Each structure stands twice: as C-alpha cells, then as structure tokens.
Amino acid sequence: MIGRNISLANLKGVLELFFRRLLDDEKIKIRFRPSYFPFVEPGIEADMTCFKCDGKGCSVCKQTGWIEAGGAGMVHRKVLESVKIDHREWQGFAFGLGLDRVAMIKYGIDDVRLLYSGDLRFLEQF
C-alpha cells in the first residue's frame, strides 16, 4: 500500500483485519518485532495471537502465545525512487505471508510439515 500518510499503524490495522476476517475471530491481536528485510525500512516480523490456545501458550506456539505470521515493513525509499515515486511525498508498507502459514492458521494445523508430507489422507481433508 502506497499513499501520502501511510504508517506502520496502517499496516497493523490491515493485518489485524485480514486475520480477524480469515479466522472469523475478533480477538486476534498483532504484534511487531524488529527484523531485517532488504526492501523495507524499518523491517518487522508480524506475529498474531496463537489460533490454538488464544495466546495462553501451547505446543504450537512454543508456550509463547504468539504465531509468526510473516515479514513486513515500510517500503524503502530506494524502492520508491526506482519506480519514480518521490519518497518525500509518498510512503507505504509491504508484507508477505506464506500460503502454507495461512493454511496452517486457517485450518488449525498443528504442524506445518504435514502440508508437505505427501500423505493423501491428510491432504484430502482440504
């Protein structure tokens, strides 16, 4: 998303709304942790409350109450400049979520490796 007044607050709102709608759960919360990604500055890891334990801690979230949702951040000014957008006037955010992670969260799959197991008994459920 690129606009004149886009901030990390907008990114957080978009991700919260996405996961709340995907999971039909209004209690989902998002948190940001600093991280490095080459095309954004600052870069963050976006975590969401665990779908299995509602943030209380379980084996899926390794007792933390959080699941890593994906990487994100504010689009780096060099990226904007490379497409002839004035970084002093425009800014924006970008994020990436793996389809395997989204499927895991949506369907309550405890172990993402199950998606790659090739076990048709498991895969045919979806």
Read off the pLDDT of residues 35-63 as tens digits, 9 standing for 90 and up.
Answer: 999 999 999 999 999 988 989 999 889 99
pLDDT digits (tens, 9 = 90+) for 59-92: 889 999 999 989 999 999 999 999 999 999 999 9
Residue 25, pLDDT above cutoff 90: no
Residue 99, pLDDT above cutoff 90: no
Residue 102, pLDDT above cutoff 90: no
Among the listed residues 79, 96, 92, the one whose alpha carbon sits nearest the alpha carbon of residue 18 = 96
CB 108 within 8 A of CB 123: no
Whole-number CA gyration radius for the chain: 17
Among the listed residues 79, 75, 72, 81, the one whose alpha carbon sits nearest the alpha carbon of residue 3 = 75
Q: How far apart are CA 72 and CA 78, in angstroms?
A: 16
Domain carrying residue 103: 2-123
Which helix (H) or strand (E) is 73 found in, with range? Answer: strand 66-75
Mean pLDDT, all residues of the chain: 92
- Please give the tally of structural domains in the chain: 1
Confidence band, pLDDT 50/70/90 cuts, at residue 111: confident
Residue 14, pLDDT above cutoff 90: yes
- In percent, the amount of the chain with pLDDT more than 90 equals 60
CB 33 within 8 A of CB 41: no
Write the CATH number for 34.
3.30.930.10
